Amino acid sequence: DQQVKQNSPSLSVQEGRISILNCDYTNSMFDYFLWYKKYPAEGPTFLISISSIKDKNEDGRFTVFLNKSAKHLSLHIVPSQPGDSAVYFCAASSNAGGTSYGKLTFGQGTILTVHP
């Protein structure tokens, strides 16, 4: 049972335009959400996160939106650059009860290609 889903395996965008990557989750106990970026032959690197007490978090060109009622989050990249081409993973965790040990549940990933 996939608790975190990224339903778009790939996304292609022109340089300078907006990239929107989507993620849905089913576990209502998730209270912290993250996005990771992964280049080939490297480990994933942290991009941006959001707590469930917020609905938006912004860091430069990257903004994450959280819609708790829809159990949906999205990552906006504006403007997109060719160097943003990578695999993007969303992840979620639950700290309820203090027994999660920080475990993250990841989505399947979306391959973003930004064309010059």
CB of 112 to other proteins, least distance (A): 15
Q: In whole angstroms, how close is the CB of 44 to other proteins at the nearest point?
A: 5
Each residue 97-116 as x (binds other proteins by CB under 8 A) or -, in order, gives -x-xxxxxxxxxx-------
For other proteins, give the closer residue by CB, 31 or 79.
Answer: 31
Is residue 57 at the binding interface for other proteins, with CB under 8 A as the rule? no
Instruction: Give residues 3-42 in contact with other proteins (rule: CB under 8 A).
Output: 4, 6, 32, 34, 36, 41-42
DSSP of the chain, one letter per residue? --SEE---SEEEEETTS-EEEEEEE--TT--EEEEEEE-TTS--EEEEEEETT-SEEEETTEEEEEETTTTEEEEEESS--GGG-EEEEEEEE--GGG-STT--EE---EEEEEE-
Smaller CB separation from other proteins, 75 or 109: 109
Residues that bind other proteins (CB under 8 A): 4, 6, 32, 34, 36, 41-46, 49, 89, 91, 93, 95, 98, 100-109
